[in-house]
Amino acid sequence: MSKERLLPFISPLILLTIWEMLARIGVIDIRFFPAPSEIFGTLIKITQDGSLLEATLTTLRRMSIGYVLAAIPAVLLGVLMGVNRFARLLFAPLINSLYPIPKIALVPMVILIFGISENAKYAVVIISVFFLVVINTMAGVLNLDPKYFDIARNNGARGWDLLWTVAFPGSLPNILTGLNLGLGFALTVIVGTELLLPQGGLGAMIWKSYQIYDVPTIFAALIVVAVLGWGINVAMEELERQIIPWKALPQAQAKNLSTNAKPVAEPRIRRFIRIWWMAARPFSFTASVTPVVLGSAIAAYDGFFNLGLFILTLVGSVAIHAGTNLINDYYDWKKGTDTAESLGPNRPLKEGLITPQQLFVAALLTFALGSAVGLYLVATRGVFILIIGVLSVLAGWFYTAGPFAFAYVGLGEVVVFIFMGPVMVLGSYYVMAQQWPWRVVWLAVPLGLIVASILHANNMRDYPDDLAKGKRTLANLLGRRASKNEFLLLMGGGFVVLVLLVLLGIAPWLTLITLFELPNAIKLIRLGYATEAPQPLNKLVRASAASHKRFGWLMIAGMIAAWVVRG
C-alpha cells in the first residue's frame, strides 16, 4: 500500500538521479542535456534577476486577455446554438469547418493582417479558444436530457425561464470542461506563437536561449511552462468545484455510498499529518491566509513581488494561527469547558488520538516556528514588522483576558476589523514593499468589514447566552434590531467600500469580480433580518465565514489579474 503511494515519486527521482550521474561522469553530452542541478541553478538565477518573472507575466497576460476575449462570446454563441435550431444550422458549418485547422498554422496569416504586434498574439489565442469553447458549450446544451425541459414546462416555466433554470445550469459542467480545455490550449498556443514571434514571453525566452545555445535556460523555461499548465488545471478544477456544487465528485460519491468502509491500514506518516492537520483546525486559517495573500497581491500589483518573502510571510502567519488554535484548545481542555458533550473544537484530543501533553508541545513548536520566521523578517525587513507583531499579540491577549477584554465590552468587531483587515494586509505588504502607503489600508477595509461580520453573526447567535453571562457584545449592546442593521453595515459595507475604491481609482477595476459574491451576501443579510432563532443564525455564522473566504479570494484574484494584465 505505502509502496504504491511512493511509486509515482520514485520514477521521476530515479530518472533525475541517473540523469545527474550520467551528466557528471560525461556519458551524456551536457551541451544538450545539462545536469538537473545545473538547470535548477539556472532556474534560481533567472528568478533572482527577474527575467523569468517578466517572461511569465508577459505570457500570462497575452494568454488571459486573449482567452477572456474569446471565451465570453464563445459561451454565449454556444448556448444560443444549443437552444436555437436556426442559429445552429446557420453557424454550425462555419464552426465545424474552421475548428480542425491547426491554429498555429494561422500565425503567418495573422501577422499579415495585424503585423508583428501584441494584437497578433491576442488574435491567435482568440481564434484557438473560440471554436473549442463554442463546440463544447453547444454540445453541453444539446446533450441535456429533454426530460428536464418537459418538467420545467409542466411546472410553468416559459421562454427565458427555460434558458436560465434549465439550459444554462444543466450544461454548465460541459461549458466548464470546454473552458478548462480552452485555457490549457491557450497556453500551448501562446507559447508556440512566441516561438515564432519572439518578443518577450516564455516562448521567446526558449527561442532566444536556443539561438545562443543556452540549453539550461531552455529547460528552466520549459519547467515553468509545465508548472503553469498544471496550475491552470488545478485552479480550473477548484473553480469547477465552487461553481458546480451539485456535481457528484467521484470522491464524494464514494463517501456517500460506503460510510462505514474504512481504509484497511493507514500509513503512519499520513496518519500523523492527518491528525495534526485536524488538530490545527485549518478551516480557520482562511482568516489569516486571506489578508496575507491580499497584502502580497497588492505588493505584486505595485511591482514589489518576491516569492521567497511571500512564502515566509505565509508560513509565519499560518504557524502563529495554528499555534493559537492549539494553545486555546489546550487551555479549554484544562478549564474543562470543552467537555465531551460540547461541540468543542479539538476532535483529535477528544477522540484520544493525541494527548494533552502532545498538544501543548505541538503548540510551543508551532509558535517557535512562527516566531523564528517573524524574527527573521524583523531582522531583514525592518522594525515596522516588529511593531505590527507586538500589537497583534497584545490584541490577541487582551481579546479575552484582563479587566478590559475587548470581546467582553463590545469591541470585538472593532478589534477583529482592524487586525484581520488593515493590519495584516499592511504588514504583509510592508514585508515586500518596505513602505506603508494609506492606499493599502483602504484596500484592506472591505475584507476587514466582512471578517468582522462573521464575528457579529456569531454574537447575534449567542445573544441570549451572552446577555445571561453578562458578556457585553456589540450585538446585545445595540439590541436585536440595531444589530441586524449592523450586520447589513458590515457585510454590505464591504461591497460598497470596494465599489467606492474602484470609482476613486484606488482599487483596480478587475477587483469588481468580488461582486459575484454580492447575491450571496444579500441572501445572508436577508437571513439576518428574517430570523432570531439560534439554528438559522448558526447557519448564518458558517455562511458568513464561507462568504468571507470567497470574497477574499475573488479580491485576490482581481488584484492578481490586474497585475498580470498590466504586466
Partner 1 sequence: MIHLSQLSKVFASSNGGILPALGPLNLTINAGEFVCLVGPSGCGKSTLLRILAELDSPSGGSFQIAKNADRNVTPTLVFQGDSTFPWMTVFENVGYGLRMQGVDSKDSDAIVEQMLRTVGLSQFAESYPYQLSGGMKQRVALARAWANDPAILLMDEPFGALDEQTRLSLQHELLHIWELGDTLKKNKDQAKKTVLFVTHSIDEALVLGDRVLVMSQRPGLIRDEISVPFARPRDPITLKRDPLYGELAYRLWQALK
Q: Footprint of partner 1 on this chain (CB under 8 A)? A: 147-148, 150-158, 161, 165-166, 169-170, 172, 244-248, 252-253, 256
CA distances, 334 to each of 245, 349, 360, 362 (Å): 40, 12, 11, 16
**Min separation Cβ 4 and partner 1, Å:** 29
Q: Cβ closer to partner 1: 97 or 253? A: 253
Amino acid at 463: Y
> What length is written for the chain?
567
In 3D space, the residue among 317, 415, 401 whose CA is nearest the CA of residue 366 turns out to be 317
What grid cell was written down for 286? 482562511
**Min separation Cβ 79 and partner 1, Å:** 15
Check if the beta carbon of residue 333 is closer than 8 Å to that of residue 346: yes
What grid cell was written down for 164? 436560465
The H or E element spanning position 312 is helix 307-335
**Min separation Cβ 244 and partner 1, Å:** 8
Q: Cβ closer to partner 1: 101 or 248? A: 248
**Min separation Cβ 451 and partner 1, Å:** 24
Q: Cβ closer to partner 1: 78 or 323? A: 78
Q: Cβ closer to partner 1: 149 or 304? A: 149
**Min separation Cβ 155 and partner 1, Å:** 4
Question: Phi/psi of residue 472, each to 5°?
Answer: -90, 115
Q: Cβ closer to partner 1: 248 or 503? A: 248
Q: Cβ closer to partner 1: 166 or 378? A: 166
**Min separation Cβ 189 and partner 1, Å:** 32
Check if the beta carbon of residue 457 is closer than 8 Å to that of residue 412: no
Complete DSSP assignment for 459-480: HHHTHHHHHHHT-B-HHHHH-H
**Min separation Cβ 540 and partner 1, Å:** 13
**Min separation Cβ 168 and partner 1, Å:** 9
Check if the beta carbon of residue 144 is closer than 8 Å to that of residue 171: yes
Q: Cβ closer to partner 1: 331 or 516? A: 516
**Min separation Cβ 165 and partner 1, Å:** 7
**Angle, alpha carbons 154-156-161 (nearest 5°):** 115
Map grid coordinates 495573422 to a residue: 110
**Min separation Cβ 138 and partner 1, Å:** 19
Q: Cβ closer to partner 1: 161 or 351? A: 161
Q: Cβ closer to partner 1: 5 or 153? A: 153
**Angle, alpha carbons 413-417-421 (nearest 5°):** 160
Cα end-to-end distance, the chain, whole Å: 47
CA distances, 551 to each of 375, 442, 489, 523 (Å): 31, 16, 16, 14
267 exposure class (CB count in 10 Å sphere: 0-12, 13-18, 19+) = middle
Question: Phi/psi of residue 409, each to 5°?
Answer: -120, 20
**Min separation Cβ 549 and partner 1, Å:** 18
Q: Cβ closer to partner 1: 86 or 246? A: 246
Q: Cβ closer to partner 1: 371 or 531? A: 531
Cα(191)–Cα(252) distance, rounded to whole angstroms? 37
In 3D space, the residue among 195, 52, 194 whose CA is nearest the CA of residue 122 turns out to be 194
Cα(475)–Cα(457) distance, rounded to whole angstroms? 9
Instruction: For the beta carbon of residue 104, count every other beta carbon within 10 angstroms.
Output: 15
Angle between helices 356-381 and 307-335 (to 10 degrees): 150
